[in-house]
Amino acid sequence: MKLTFYKYQGTGNDFIIIDNREKLFPASNTELVAKLCHRKFGIGADGLILLENDAKSDFKMIYFNADGNTSTMCGNGGRCLVAFAKYLNIINEKTTFNAIDGLHHATIKDELVSLQMIDVNEIKTKPNASFLNTGSPHHVQMVKNLKEFNVAQEGAKLRYGLYGATGSNINFVEQIDDESFSVRTYERGVEDETLSCGTGVTAVAIAMHNAGIAKKNTISVHVLGGQLQVSFTKNDGYTDVFLNGPANLVFKGEIEC
């Protein structure tokens, strides 16, 4: 099978995206997805996304981790898919699409995508960390000297040791100033550090505000691949949560698979 694919990235979080409106891609083939995402034997990506038709919205997002398994919501992947939908002329500047965690609203202007994330009503606090779900589960922990921190080693310990087989994404955070933070993330499914994680950045911003470390409702988050911004409204929980940042087409290609 000759497969046409598109490679997108959002602050270094990279994805293979496939137009699957004709349902030609064998989505149940876990080994194929993993091979395509492999950086030595395939195209190479943090995940693979299918764009499909949806009766309730403009399109549907089907997301796979780099290990080939379907997964929970991916924030940067969602933003990249919005950019792809505009590239295909499915949408213009506004859209509503369906994902595993429900409907998402988004806007796109030039290469900047603002994506509404799910509301967050529960945050579990630990002695030195927080745990919350922003479409995917996230552990948020502040550390010192983040630049030199061994994210892969320490993230794997927490991902498996604290959260078991199901696991959690692990975010290590260092404060820059009152309203900005640096974040490095270990992602389950990738089983390594990634240059950026959209749901992780969202979790960090909310966790920092919930802990009283950040005071404003718009927070800048620096990741290895660039900068993202998270805004929200605080009531009983966190609503109107938006993840904002760039999403770019890297290249289009064909591969025999």
Secondary structure string (H, E, C) spanning 119-165:
CECCEEECCCEEEEECCCEEEEEECCCHHHCCHHHHHHHHHHHCCCC
| Residue from 37, 74, 80, 257 carrying the catalytic annotation | 74
Inter-residue contact 48 to 111 (CB < 8 Å): no
Rounded Cα distance between 253 and 15, Å, is 13
Nearest to 26 by CA among 15, 16, 18, 14: 18
Distances (CA, A) of 189 to 28, 158, 256: 16, 14, 24
Q: What DSSP letter does each residue of 40-56 carry, written as one string? A: TTSS--SEEEEEE--SS
Q: Examine the residue annotation and report whether 37 is marked as an active-site residue of this protein.
A: no
> In which element (H, E) is residue 77 found?
helix 75-87
Nearest to 246 by CA among 177, 196, 186, 176: 196
DSSP 92: S
Residue 70, class by beta-carbon neighbours within 10 Å (0-12 exposed, 13-18 middle, 19+ buried)? middle
| Residue from 37, 80, 197, 257 carrying the catalytic annotation | 197
* Cα 243 → chain centroid: 10
Which amino acid appears at position 142 of this protein? M
Nearest to 132 by CA among 238, 219, 232, 36: 238
Q: Which residues are known to be catalytic? A: 74, 197
